[in-house]
Amino acid sequence: MTGFEHIQKTGRDAVLVVGGGVAGITASLDLADAGQSVHLVESSSYLGGQVSKLDKLYPTDHCAFCPLWTDVKKCMEHPLITVHTLSHVKELNKENGNYSAVILRGPHYIDEKKCIFCGRCEKECPAAAIHPDWEHLYPPSFVIDETLCTKCGNCTKICPSGAIDMDLKEEEISLPVSDVIWATGFKEANINHLKEYGSGTHPDIMTSMEFEEWTSEAGTNRGTIIKRSDGAIPANIAFIQCAGARDLRMIPSCSAVCCMHAFKQAEWVKRRDKRIDCSIFYTDLRTVGRDYYRYSLRDFEDANIKLVRGRPGLIHPLPSGNGIAVQFENTITQKREIRKFDIVILNGNIQPSLIQLRPAQPGSMAVPRTDKEGFVIEESGETSDFACGFGLEPADVADSVIQASAAAMRIMNKASDQR
């Protein structure tokens, strides 16, 4: 009996995949394609994770959205995958080599199976709590922001297809699971306490994910590059690498993706507006993947992006409010300099999302064993905890997808060994 026959004949318990980013989606699809049933748990209202917020992917400049969209669609339609959005894993109990999970499924006040996306509820809502879900979600639907909702009931009355039910409560779903794949991804870390970066002191000092949202084609400014403070076109932009990362005070490890991310952003800034001057302040440029180094060279030479080796010692908004001063020592020329920039982008402050979850809500959420930095420690036994994506180790899209498939394979092999 082959592995998947075993899975199908014995009705092996479902695999629980936690996190609906690229890694989670890929792991779910791979397992489901092999006949294994999967429960995919995602905390936000849509699948796609951080990649759905990216505009373009390095190094080929493909859009992030359309391949992701097709995978999300496939996931939603797959008969063996049960998707739980707005949910998290409340409990995981290991008993006699069996896992049982309790999934806390948040109320889906707007039933996405019934919502026709007419938008009447959005117009009627006095608290402005209703907004369209992630723009390219399939099928499109609205979501209610529970923090704003006053439960007035206007939307329930106006909805023509009866998709809204405000009386829904959180639902606890208990199910036996065979294994867990943690694909919890990354979150941006707050580095306001690292005073030298000036994070949070000026609207034009942004983190790279904020900048991505600010300038991406689907984002706030529809692909134009302007300052957040006054809406003017910036003359120059500084990308500060390793802000918070490779820093024993904050994130000791290298976040692996930020160098290329900065190159990509600088390249697209240049593509959209040639006049804007881009400088990247780096410690080491880590360009190890296919064409990554070439991408950085191309940026450096063709797009005329300035590379400065040096970690800024101080970044502070100028007293006039116009511009941000960056003090640094160029470690190649050994010169101390101070330069004025219009936008400063802090890059590197990303860390596994588990490290931020844990202290916030003790007991209310099941989390795997992690190391000090928040990366999952995999455990293989009768009931296994596998991990993939940024939650396992810093990884970009390609690496996350590879890790996801490999995790799925290990579960397949385990299933075969159990027969």
Partner 1 sequence: MANISVFLCKCFGEIDNTINFDFLREELSKDPSVVLISIVDSLCLETDIEKTVSQIRESNSDKVLIAACSTLSRGNLVIESLIKEGVERHKIGLVDIREGCAWIHGDNPEDASKKAKDLINMGIAALQHKDMSDDMSVTVHPNALIIGAGPAGLAAAMSLARTGFKVNLLERSKVPGGMLKLISRCYPDNDDASNKLGPYLREVENNPLITFYPQSKITSVEGDTGNFTVHFSFQEKDSFIQAGVIIVATGAKIFFPTGLYGYGEIKNVINQMEFERQSLNGSLETKKPVFIQCVGARNRERPYCSTICCPISLKNASRIAEDIPGASVFILHRGIMTPGNTLEKYYRDTLSSGVQFIRFEEEQPPRIIGSDYVEAVEVYDAITGITRKIETDLVVLSTPLVPNNDNVQLAEMLDIEVDRYGFFSEIYPMHPLETKTDGIFICGSARWPVSSDHSILQGKAAAMKAVSYLRQSKIAASTLSRVPGLKSGHARVVPESCTGCGNCVAACPFDACHIEKLEGRYISIVNMMKCKACGSCVSVCPNGTMQIPEHNYRMVGEMIKMAF
Partner 2 sequence: MNQPRILIFACKWCGFIGADAAGKKRISLPSRFRVIPMECASLVETDAILRALAGGIDGIAVLGCHIGGCRYNNANHTAIKRLELLQDLLDTTGIGSSRLLLSFGTAHEDYQFEEIIKNFFDELTLLPPLDPWL
Could you list the residues that contact partner 2 (CB under 8 A)?
A: 56, 60-63, 65-67, 117, 119, 132, 135-136, 140, 217-218, 222-223
Determine contact, residues 324/364, Cβ cutoff 8 Å. Answer: no
Nearer Cβ to partner 1, position 235 or 250? 250
Q: At what angle do helices 258-272 and 208-215 cross, to 10 degrees?
A: 30
The string of DSSP codes covering 384-418 is EEEE-GGGTS---HHHHHHHHHHHHHHHHHHHHHT
For 110, residues 6+ apart whose C-beta sits below 8 A from its C-beta are 121, 130, 141, 142, 143, 144, 163, 164
Q: How far is the CB of 216 from partner 1 (least distance, A)?
A: 17
Q: What is the DSSP letter of 298?
A: H
Q: What is the DSSP letter of 221?
A: T
Nearer Cβ to partner 2, position 67 or 106? 67
Q: From the list partner 1, partner 2, none, which binds 329 (C-beta under 5 to 8 Å, kind-based)? A: none
Nearer Cβ to partner 1, position 67 or 106? 67
Q: From the list partner 2, partner 1, none, which binds 63 (C-beta under 5 to 8 Å, kind-based)? A: partner 2
Nearer Cβ to partner 2, position 137 or 407? 137
Angle at Cα 44 formed by Cα 40 and Cα 45, nearest 5°? 90
Nearer Cβ to partner 2, position 106 or 132? 132
Closest alpha carbon to 326 in 309, 344, 308:
344
For 355, residues 6+ apart whose C-beta sits below 8 A from its C-beta are 370, 373, 374
Q: How far is the CB of 273 from partner 1 (least distance, A)?
A: 25
Q: How far is the CB of 363 from partner 1 (least distance, A)?
A: 27
Nearer Cβ to partner 2, position 61 or 146? 61
Q: From the list partner 2, partner 1, none, which binds 397 (C-beta under 5 to 8 Å, kind-based)? A: partner 1
Q: From the list partner 1, partner 2, none, which binds 217 (C-beta under 5 to 8 Å, kind-based)? A: partner 2
Closest alpha carbon to 316 in 338, 348, 337:
338
Determine contact, residues 343/269, Cβ cutoff 8 Å. Answer: no
The string of DSSP codes covering 351-380 is EEHHHHHHHHSTTSS----B-TTSPBPPB-
- How does strand 186-188 pair with strand 350-352? antiparallel
Q: How far is the CB of 221 from partner 2 (least distance, A)?
A: 10
Q: From the list partner 1, partner 2, none, which binds 151 (C-beta under 5 to 8 Å, kind-based)? A: none
Question: Would you report the helix, strand and coil content of the chain in percent, each value rounded to 5?
Answer: 30, 25, 45
Nearer Cβ to partner 1, position 99 or 386? 386
Q: How far is the CB of 60 from partner 2 (least distance, A)?
A: 6
Q: From the list partner 2, partner 1, none, which binds 334 (C-beta under 5 to 8 Å, kind-based)? A: partner 1
Q: How far is the CB of 254 from partner 1 (least distance, A)?
A: 4
Q: How far is the CB of 177 from partner 1 (least distance, A)?
A: 19
Nearer Cβ to partner 1, position 272 or 335? 335
Measured CA to CA in angstroms, residue 211 lies from 188, 220, 224, 347 at distances of 13, 10, 11, 10
- List 103's β-bridge partners, or say none: 89, 173
Whole-angstrom Cα distance, residue 94 to residue 98? 6
Residue type, 196: E
Q: From the list partner 1, partner 2, none, which binds 2 (C-beta under 5 to 8 Å, kind-based)? A: partner 1
Q: From the list partner 2, partner 1, none, which binds 252 (C-beta under 5 to 8 Å, kind-based)? A: partner 1
Q: From the list partner 2, partner 1, none, which binds 118 (C-beta under 5 to 8 Å, kind-based)? A: partner 1
Q: How far is the CB of 71 from partner 2 (least distance, A)?
A: 13
Q: How far is the CB of 332 from partner 1 (least distance, A)?
A: 6
Nearer Cβ to partner 1, position 131 or 410? 410
Determine contact, residues 111/85, Cβ cutoff 8 Å. Answer: no
